[in-house]
C-alpha cells in the first residue's frame, strides 16, 4: 500500500502555493483538497498579478476569473469562466463539480450560482488594476486583440465595427500584440498525486490583460488548461491560451504517458505539436505520471528560453525550484 511518502505536487508558480497544497496531503487531505487549497492561496496572494482579483483588466477595465479542477479517479470536472465579483474562483469550480451535474458555468450566471452557494460577492477591482486600465486608455488602447475592424485598432480605441479586409498594418499589429504580451498573462497550474495513486489537477487565472470582454482561454477547459486521469497521469499548461486550447496539450500529454511515454517526452511532444503550427507561441506544460515521475517542456521564443516550476515530494523534503530549457 502506498503512503504519503509517495505523494507528489507539481506547481507552475509560487512556493507558498506548493507549501499550502503539500501541507494538505501531509495532514491526510485529498488531492482535490490540495489542488483547491493551493489555487486558493494563489488567488488570495494574487501571485504575480496573473491570478486572482485586481489583475488583468479587460477592455472595459473589469477583472474576471477562470478556474478548473479535475478528479482523476472519477473524471469529473468543475470549471468556471468569465466569473465576476467572486474572488475564490477555484472554490466555485469545485462547487460546480460537487453540487451540479455540469462541467462548466460561465459569466454572470456563474456568479449568481456562486452567490447562491454562499460565496461572498466582492469588487475585484484594485488601485493597481484601475491604473493599468487608465494607462491603457491613455495609450490609445495599445496593445489590444482586435483585428479586421475599424477604426484601426493599432492606433485607436473602440467601439469597433467590422472591416471587410485587413490592412497590412493591422496584420502586423496582431503579431506585435502577441509578442508584446508573452508575460502579461499566466496561470497557476497544479498536478497532485497522493500515496494511494489518486491524481487531481487544477488551474486558476484572471486571463489576458486587455482581453475582449467575454474572452475565455485554455485554463478552464478540460484537456487544455489541465487534465488528470489516475490510470495514466496528469498535466497542466500555461501560456497563450488562445493558441494552446486548440491543441488540448494536457490531454495529449496524459494520453502519451498512458501509452508509455515518460513525462518529459510527453510534455515535449505536446509542445512540439503546437509548435508545428505556431512556431512563435508562448507556452509551457508540466506532466506527472502515476509513479510520481515528472517533467516539463516549453517553446523557445525571444525572452523566454527556460521554464521554471515547483516540485514537492518526499525526495525533495521541501519545495524545490526546477527548470527546463525550451525547445
Asked if the structure places residue 133 within a domain, the reply is no
Average pLDDT, rounded, for the chain: 91
The response to whether 161 counts as a known ligand-binding position is no
2 inside domain: no
On whether 82 is known to bind a ligand per the annotation, the reply is no
What confidence category does residue 318 fall into, taking pLDDT thresholds of 50, 70 and 90? confident
Q: What is the pLDDT of residue 8?
A: 82
What is the structure's pLDDT at 48? 76
Is residue 175 scored above 60 in pLDDT? no
Q: How does residue 184 score in pLDDT terms, banded at 50, 70 and 90?
A: very low
- The answer to whether residue 147 is domain-embedded is no
Q: Quick one: pLDDT at residue 166?
A: 62
Instruction: Judge whether residue 172 has pLDDT over 80.
Output: no
Q: What is the extent of the structural domain holding 58?
A: 8-123+181-325
Span 122-131, pLDDT tens digits: 999 999 999 9
pLDDT of residue 64: 97
Q: Please count the structural domains in the chain.
A: 1
- Please report whether residue 297 resides in a domain: yes
Average pLDDT value for residue range 175-203: 76
> Does the annotation flag 238 for ligand binding?
yes
Residue 185: per-residue pLDDT: 43
Per-residue pLDDT for 1 more than 50? Answer: no
187 given a catalytic annotation: yes
Q: What percent of the chain has pLDDT over 70?
A: 91
Decide if pLDDT at 2 tops 50. Answer: no
Residue 301: pLDDT above 60? yes
In a domain, 105, yes or no: yes
Q: Which pLDDT band holds residue 109 (cuts at 50, 70, 90)?
A: very high
The 10s digit of each residue's pLDDT in 10-58 is 787 667 788 899 999 999 999 999 999 999 999 999 887 789 999 899 9
**Is 134 part of a structural domain of the chain?**
no
Is residue 74 annotated as involved in ligand binding? no
Q: Is 215 annotated as a binding residue?
A: yes
Residue 193's CATH number: 3.60.20.30
Give φ, ψ of 103 to 5 degrees: -110, -40
Q: Is residue 36 part of a domain?
A: yes
> Does 283 appear as a known binding residue?
no
Q: How confident is the model at residue 9 (pLDDT cuts 50, 70, 90)?
A: confident
**Residue 239 annotated as binding site:** yes
| 174: pLDDT strictly greater than 80 | no
pLDDT band at 245 (very low <50, low <70, confident <90, very high): very high
- Catalytic residue (one of 187, 205, 209, 290): 187
Indicate if the pLDDT at residue 179 is higher than 50: no
pLDDT > 90: percent of the chain: 82
Q: Is residue 107 part of a domain?
A: yes
66 is in an annotated binding site: no
Specify the pLDDT at position 3. Answer: 47
Amino acid at each position: 500500500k502506498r503512503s504519503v511518502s509517495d505523494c507528489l505536487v507539481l506547481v507552475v508558480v509560487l512556493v507558498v502555493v506548493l507549501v499550502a497544497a503539500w501541507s494538505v496531503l501531509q495532514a491526510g487531505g485529498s488531492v482535490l483538497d490540495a489542488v483547491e487549497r493551493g489555487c486558493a492561496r494563489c488567488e488570495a496572494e494574487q501571485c504575480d498579478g496573473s491570478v486572482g482579483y485586481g489583475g488583468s483588466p479587460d477592455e472595459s477595465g473589469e477583472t474576471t476569473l477562470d478556474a478548473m479542477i479535475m478528479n482523476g479517479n472519477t473524471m469529473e470536472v468543475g470549471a468556471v469562466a468569465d466569473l465576476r465579483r467572486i474572488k475564490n474562483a477555484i472554490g466555485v469550480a469545485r462547487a460546480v463539480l460537487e453540487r451540479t451535474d455540469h462541467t462548466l458555468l460561465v459569466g454572470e450566471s456563474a456568479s449568481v450560482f456562486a452567490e447562491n452557494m454562499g460565496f461572498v460577492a466582492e469588487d475585484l477591482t484594485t488601485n493597481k488594476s484601475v491604473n493599468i486600465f487608465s494607462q491603457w486608455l491613455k495609450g490609445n488602447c495599445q496593445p489590444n486583440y482586435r483585428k479586421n475592424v475599424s477604426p484601426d485598432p493599432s492606433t485607436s480605441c473602440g467601439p469597433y465595427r467590422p472591416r471587410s479586409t485587413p490592412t497590412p498594418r493591422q496584420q502586423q499589429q496582431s503579431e506585435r500584440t502577441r509578442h508584446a504580451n508573452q508575460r502579461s498573462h499566466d496561470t497557476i497550474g497544479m498536478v497532485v498525486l497522493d500515496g494511494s495513486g489518486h491524481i487531481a489537477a487544477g488551474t486558476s487565472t484572471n486571463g489576458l490583460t486587455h482581453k475582449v470582454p467575454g474572452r475565455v482561454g485554455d485554463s478552464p477547459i478540460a484537456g487544455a488548461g489541465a487534465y488528470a486521469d489516475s490510470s495514466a497521469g496528469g498535466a497542466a499548461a500555461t501560456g497563450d491560451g488562445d493558441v494552446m486550447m486548440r491543441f488540448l496539450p494536457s490531454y495529449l500529454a496524459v494520453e502519451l504517458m498512458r501509452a508509455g511515454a515518460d513525462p518529459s517526452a510527453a510534455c515535449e511532444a505536446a509542445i512540439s505539436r503546437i509548435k508545428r503550427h505556431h512556431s512563435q507561441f508562448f507556452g509551457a506544460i508540466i506532466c506527472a505520471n502515476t509513479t510520481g515521475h515528472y517533467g516539463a517542456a516549453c517553446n523557445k521564443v525571444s525572452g523566454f528560453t527556460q521554464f521554471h516550476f515547483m516540485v514537492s515530494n518526499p525526495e525533495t523534503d521541501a519545495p524545490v525550484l526546477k527548470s527546463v530549457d525550451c525547445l
